[in-house]
Each structure stands twice: as structure tokens, then as C-alpha cells.
Chains A and B, each alone.
Chain A
Amino acid sequence: MKKNYTNPPKLLEELLRRFLYNTTQYSALGDYAELYDHLSSEKGRAYAVTWYCIQLVKLLSTYCLQKSIWSIMMFKNYMKIAFRNINRNKTYTFLNLFGLSIGMAVFSLIFLYVQYELSFDKYHENSDRIYRIVQKAEDRSHYIEIYGSDIIARTHAPLAMALADEFPEVISAVRINFRSNILLSTGKKKFFENKICFADPSIFEVFSFKLINGDPKSALSDPNSIILSERMVDKYFQDKDPIGKVFTYNNSFDLKVTGVMKNIPENSHFTMEFIISFKKYDELLNKVTALWDDNWHCWTYCVFHNDVDIKGFEKKLIPLAERASNNIRNGTKSEFLLQPITSIHLNSHLFKEIDVNSDIKYVYILISIAFLILVIACLNYINLTTACSLKRSREVGIRKVVGAHKRHLVYQFFGESIIITVFALILSTIIFFLALPAFNSLVDRDLSLDIINNSQIILVIFVLLFIVGILAGSYPALFISSYKPIMVLKNAVDKSFKGIKLRNILVTAQFSISILLIICTLIVKEQLYFINNKDIGYEKDRIIVLHLRDPEIRKNIEVIKTELLNNPAILKFSSSSSLPNNIDTWKSIPASVVKERGVMFRTRIDYDFLELYGIEIIEGRNFSRDFPSDETGAVIINETAAKMIGLESPLENSFELHTSRETKKIIGVVRDFHFRSLHKKIDPLYLYMDKRYSGNYLSVKIKGDRITETISLIKDQFEKISLNYPVEYYFFDETINASYNSEQKIGKIFSIFALIAVSIACLGLLGLSIFSAEQRKKEIAVRKTLGAKISGIVILISRDFLRSIFISVAIAWPVGYFAMNNWLQNFAYRIDIGINVILYACFLAVLTAVLTVIWSAIKSATTNPVDSLRYE
């Protein structure tokens, strides 16, 4: 009888085959097929297929169980051995773990910082379409020398509206400007406030600033309205509702509170606590902001529709730029450029920025440091683990002999490195949170790790570090599992030449990096020391500076001066339009006066300025009351200016000032002093007097003792005249220090991370030297018995490592020299990188290394040979 037969589906059959024992596969598959055929004809195809699948599942679970029982049993063994090892090598494991954790913690901190820096201004909804308009002015190339850039961040006031009206690509545009040191008073509270922003109502269309209270469309429609930030509401009103309350601005006019906005996030390139309508700003300046002129009144931002070609749009702005310059006699021809808002914080250093921006240099430096330190930590780990593995060579040999495949050994040692990595991750998390406050003060930020908000970052960091741990562990794992059992049992593994060479290379790499960091640190510190102690040409001690804002005080400055000078604690008193270290106004000098056309810096001073600051006059004389013409017709120039004018004896010469047609006689020449930071070279400068304007700054030189009393004395005098404005003062030497803030930060960063790098490298070196000493126990013992002295043995052990260190030095110093030279170019006044810096750095590194190695060398050199040779 011919029978129809059905076979099980080929795919299922193939799958089933994998779960069957090798020897009886054929037989079993046939049986399954026969049963399938039987069921198929009895109960139908569907039933048969279902039955087949059930068989599959049954076999699957048995298969998995079989395999995993085996793996579970081995896993238990591996765990046991791993922990036993950790216990036996407590020192090494600890060194390893510690080094790895520190490396990971440093990396995480820096990662957090970098991620924060890169996130500036990205919280706006349309952040990828928000641009700032800046202008490149023709014929201002000298700005590059003076200000660092010939692109100007400020633009004309009518620009924003023109953009919004005439260009369909622009959704909305806004102008903003700021005022600082404004007295705001409401009720009984009055404070000087700095972050006051004037803006069009479209600010809420362009940016994503949220209003908690109030309507963004109407809050700024009345020019006499003001919006507060949450923080300011707390400051002025605590819990009460601020809407409708009234602020007095600079004792001149009133503003009504129409809204409360959420605090501006810290990661913004500009920030404000108050917003007032730009129309008010217009009013304050007598409506001149409607004009296209050279007074660039605001910063202009706009938001585009999707898919706008920015470069093409810039070209469209050319007619607008022409309109701007055509309106003014001798107007500046400009080119409008677009700057994405997200690039401002790290990359923008234009003339007239809102605030000093950070620099992408910091990000690069910190990223490099993060990687270097992580690399050192990993190299450490690899080194130590590989070294320790020699001890376990016997274990590996025996495992192989009883049947372990290389694969199993790799799993085992990988597993161990995973355990260490996990511990290191845990430890590094602890270190991370402990070090976070210190790190925050180091980089001047307020970073925090919100578990909820930043879960993505945490995940990234963990995965990254886990991978790093695995990679670092993979080398030792592979290395160990490749031991040949025969070599192990012959005890020939210890002499593995390749192992020693690799170890030395790793040590060399570690120390090169550390020495590089040390060199950078030392040079930065030296430059800072140089800056701090260089003779700047004027005194900075015991000088109090007061900002003059109150018109009442300005009117009565002479009265205050006479009163104060009566007091023996007050030595000198001077008013000026700038301080000796921040002169930044200048005028173009026509070629008729000087050898070639250029600029001279200038500032208004009074009779007592030069004496107060101890600025030396080398030719001629100071302004003097004996010569009444000094008040309008005299200037004092500095040496560089004298050279610029190019006359043999500049005294008794006069020069005409550009555009003011005033002729001023040169009555004296002062020694060059650094009126800007040491980043810039000393430019020509002239000093003059002008009774029409009273100065912005008051400088008071006091006797050093009882400073608090003297200050209250000064305050009293001010308050006698006017209580309108609180008296604000600061110490001159503090401001000078503040101008080198960024270098100080870099110096601190480098020194701390250099310290960490060296510590990690030394941890590694310590472990290695202990290990190496242990390996050579017998050799040392024999040498001692044959009469070697302790010193000889110490030298013997240290020799290998010291050779690596010297190579590190040779590698590190050219790199360090090159890199630091580059950095020093930022300063017009800088140190030369002398040989002694390099030598000092190398000496430090060698010293540390030697101390590390010596300790273990001495320990092993002084052990009793009997103990080492006992087994023999």
C-alpha cells in the first residue's frame, strides 16, 4: 500500500538537531520524523507541528540546563578562586583597584564638565536655529591687536526689526542690552543690581525663557514694566506676590512688576535677573536707537525657520549693511555675519561680548588630561595584573592539563577582571561624589549629577568605563591563558623575556605622561609667579578703589577729599577715569603726528594720580597747579608713545588730537607701566586732565594698619554727602590678581592632575617593584650569601626601573617644551623655558620613582637569605 508521508519542517528539524546528542543524532532525528509522520496522518498536520515544537522546547530546556549546570559549577569555582586570589594578593589588588578607581573618577568628573560645557544654550527649544548677528567692520584690523578680534558682537538697534520685517526666513528677532550697577529699590529694600536686561517682547519668541507668572506676549508691552527672576522675587518679596509692585530705578523712575520668570539656567552665555522693555532703553537714550549709526546699541539675536541656508542668508544681508553705512557720514562699512548661539560659549571671543566667554581650549585640555590619566590607570592595571599572573602560572598549567580549553581560561580571567572592574566602578563612584565639590571649585562651575535628569550621562560613563575595564583586562586574560603547560611545570615562565620588556614599556609610557604633566604644571606656575612679581610699574598695596556713581558725590568730591586727607590714616587721594591696570580707551593718531598712523591709549587723571600709584616720571614733570594751562592743554606720555612720535626730545612738543582739533603740549614722559594685563605688550599711552568730567574711580591710599576703621571712615564721609547709593569699594591688589584668573585656574588644574597622574603611576611602580623583588627573592638570597652588599642589591633591583624612567624623561621633555612654548605665546611678557625647569621636573619624577622603588628594594635586600632559600 502506497502511503503518503509527511516530513517535519526542515527548519525545525535543523533546530532540533542542535539539541541532540552528537552520537545518536541521526537515529533520534529519524525517530522524531517517524512519529511526526504518524501523528500527521492520525491527527492532522497542525497537531504534528505543535507536537514537534513542544519536543523542541523540552529538549531546549534540558540542553540549557545541562550546559548551565556545567557553567554554574565552573562559575562557582572561578568565583572562589578569584576571591582567594584577591585575598592572597591584598596589596596588589588594592593598588590596582585604587589606581583604576581614581582614573575612572577623574574621567567621570571631566566627562561631566565637558558635557556641561558643550550643553550651553542648548536648552532653548530652537537652539539649533537661533543665531546672533555680529558685524565685521571694514578698516578695523587694528582691533585684532587691541581687542583680539575685528568682529564686533554688538550691532545697530534697527537691525532686529529690519530682520523680522523684511526677511521671511526669520521667525523673530530680538535686541538685548544690559545695565549693571543700577540701584533698584522697592519698599525698604535697595540693592545695586548687575544683571538687568533690556529686551524686546520678542525675547520670549526667540529664546525659551519661561514665565511663571505673567503673559509673555504682554508683559513687556508697557515700557515701564519689569520682569523679575524667581531668585529676585525671593530677595525682594520673599513669599509675597510681586505682580503689580513698584521698583524705583536709580532713583529716577518707577517700574511696575508684570511678570516672574524661571531662573535662567546656569549653562547660558548670558544671564539676567531682570528684564525691562527695550523701549525704555530707547527712552533713556532719547530715542536715538532708531537710527542706523555707529552707536551699536545692542546685541541682536534671531530665530530662523527650518532649513534656511545660513551662508546664503548672510549674502542677503549685504544690502542691509549698505543701508546702515550709507546713513552716516564717514560711516563704518560692515559685513553682517551669523553666529550660531550654541557656539558662543566656547568659541566666541569677539569685541564687545556680553560677558567673558569660556574657551574651548579648557575643554580640550581637560579631555586630554582625562584620557591621559585613564590611560595611566589602565596601563597600571595591565602591568600589575600581568605581573601577578606569573604567580598563577602553575594554576593555569594544571587547569590546562586536566582539560580546560584556552577558552575556559580566558573566561575565567576575564571574569576576574570584570569583578575588579565592578569594584573599581563602585569605588570610583564614591570617590567621584567625594571629589565633586573640590572639582567644582577648581573649574569654577556648579556641576551636579542629578540621577533622574542625567541618567543618560551616567549610563554612558558606566558603559564606557566598563568597556575600558574589560579592554584593560583582556590583555592579561589572553596573556595568562596562553601559557604552555610544559613551560609552566618547568617553571620557565618567570624568565619570559617578552613579559619583562612589555612591562618596562608600560612603565615608561606611564611616567612619560606624568612627567609631561609635571613639566606643564611647573611652567604654568613659573609664568604665574613671574606675572605676580613682575614690576608692573605702579604700586598696588594698600590702595582702596571706589566706584563713583552717585552724581551727588561727584559734585562734592573736593569736600570729601579735604575731609579725608585731614585724617592721618589717609595718605593720598585721586580720581581718574580708569585704574592703572584697565585703561582701554584709545584714539587714532594721524600720521602727521607720529611716524606711521596708529593708536594711542589714553585716560583722564588728576594731579595726584601719578604720585599715588608711584608711577615714575623720567622726563619733564607731572601736572601741576602752578601751571593752570595744564588743565586743558597738557599731556603726559609714556616711553612707548615717545618712541612712536619719534622725536629726539618730546618735551615742549605738541600734537594735535584726531577729531577734536585740540593741541596738547607734552609736558612729561613716564616710564612704561603695564596698563593692561601682561598678555599684551605695552602700547603708547597719553594721560590728560579734563575738569568737565569727574572720574569714575576714586583711588585712596591708606596706611596699612587698622584697615576696617579706615574703610568705615571713608564710608562715613560718603554717607554724609549722599545716602542714595550704598558705598562700594574693593582692594586694588585683588583686582590685579583677578585678571589672571584663567591662568591661575589652568595652573591649579595642571598641578592637581599632575599630582594624581604621578600618584597613580607610582602606585603602579610600587606594585611592580614589590613584585619584581619577590620574584627575585632567591636570586637576591644567593647573592647575599655570596657576599653582596645591601647597596649593591638595591642598585641591582632599581636599575631596570630607572632605565625606564630615564627614557620617559627623554620622551616627555621635548613634548612638554613644544606644548608649553605654544601656550606661552599668549603672553607678551613671558618667561623663557629654561633648562632648569625641565631638569627640575625630571628630578622630581626620578626622585619619586626612586623613592618608590627603593622602599621595596631595601626591604628585599635586608631579608634574611635563610627565609628565601628555605624551600630549596
Chain B
Amino acid sequence: MRFLSRAEEIILLSIWKLQENAYGIEILNQVSIASGKKWSIGAIYAPLTRLLDKEYLRTYEGDSKPERGGRRKVFYELTPEGIKALEEVKKVHENIWSDIPAFNS
């Protein structure tokens, strides 16, 4: 029973947020904004590939664009399993973050 890793969680959520326009660069931007750090493409694609293999994501293709060297854009969207995984993580997060003593900042 394996939980999503941090990076995987962030990426899945970003894709869910983006709903429609979720391709590599967009995901990269979202994740960078959300986490405040600048991610590299490789850092995105490693978890992305894993999630694909686990079938939490699926892809669909868009139009081919000349700026991409003639390649089409590849969009990602969540599968039901992906959604379930996110919900699971959310539940765990809520459980573990509830009722903790305050931080002294």
C-alpha cells in the first residue's frame, strides 16, 4: 500500500487544477508557483512517468506546434485511480495534521 510521494502529489494536484491545459510546461509553471521553487523539466518528468506507469494519469494529444519542433502537445489528465490516490493522500494529510500542538513560531 504505497502512498503518493510529495512530488507526485504536487504534480497530480497541479494537473487537476489545470483541468484542460495540462501539458509539460504548464505543469512546470504551476508546480513552480505552488512550491516557490523553480523545478527543472527532468524533475517533473520523473514522477510524471512513474504516475503514467501506475496509471494514475493518462495522456491525450493536441495540435502539433512548430515551436515544439513540429511535435504535438501531450496533455495529461487524471484517471479515476489517480483521483482515488489523491483523495487518499488528502485523508491521511487531514488525519495526521489534525489535533497537533501549536508550533511556536
Q: Which residues of A contact B (CB under 8 A)?
A: 3, 5, 7-8, 13, 20-21, 23-24, 26-35, 37-38, 55, 58-59, 62
Contacts and interface: CB of A to CB of B under 8 A. Distances in A.
Given A5-B66, A7-B69, A34-B68, A27 B41 contact: no
Interface residues on B, range: 20 to 34
B42 interface: yes
Nearest to B27: A31
Contact of B74 (A8, A26, A38): A26
B42 A34 contact: no
The 6 closest A-B pairs by CB, nearest first: A31-B24, A27-B74, A30-B68, A30-B71, A33-B69, A37-B67
A3 B67 contact: yes
B52 interface: yes
A30 B24 contact: yes
Given A29-B69, A30-B69, A31-B25, A24 B52 contact: yes
B49 A32 contact: no
A27 B59 contact: yes
B45 interface: yes
B48 A31 contact: no
B contact patch SS: helix
B65 interface: yes
B69 A28 contact: no
A409 to B, nearest CB: 27
Contacts of A29: 69, 71
B96 to A, nearest CB: 31
B49 to A, nearest CB: 4
Contacts of A37: 67-68
Contact of B49 (A23, A30, A31, A59): A23
Interface in B36-81: 40-42, 45-46, 48-49, 52-53, 59, 65-69, 71-74
A38 B53 CA distance: 30
B41 A30 contact: no
A8 B69 contact: yes
B28 interface: yes
A31 B42 contact: no
A21 to B, nearest CB: 4
A29 B42 CA distance: 11
Given A24-B45, A29-B69, A34-B65, 16 more contacts: A5-B67, A13-B69, A24-B48, A24-B52, A26-B74, A27-B23, A28-B41, A30-B24, A30-B68, A31-B24, A32-B41, A33-B67, A33-B68, A37-B67, A55-B42, A58-B42
Contacts of B23: 27, 31
B40 to A, nearest CB: 6
Interface in B2-58: 23-25, 28, 40-42, 45-46, 48-49, 52-53
Nearest to A27: B74
B3 to A, nearest CB: 22
Interface of B: 23-25, 28, 40-42, 45-46, 48-49, 52-53, 59, 65-69, 71-74
A contact patch SS: helix
A30 B74 CA distance: 8
B69 A23 contact: no
B49 A24 contact: yes
A35 B59 contact: no
Nearest to B68: A30
Contacts of B52: 23-24
18 contacts: A5-B66, A7-B69, A8-B69, A23-B52, A23-B53, A24-B48, A24-B49, A29-B71, A30-B71, A30-B74, A31-B25, A32-B41, A33-B71, A34-B25, A34-B65, A34-B68, A37-B67, A58-B40
Contact of A26 (B25, B28, B46, B71): B71
A62 B66 CA distance: 29
Given A5-B66, A23-B53, A58-B40, A28 B71 contact: no
Contact of B28 (A5, A21, A23, A31): A31
Residue among A13, A24, A32, A62 with most chain B CB within 10 A: A24
Contacts of B42: 55, 58-59, 62
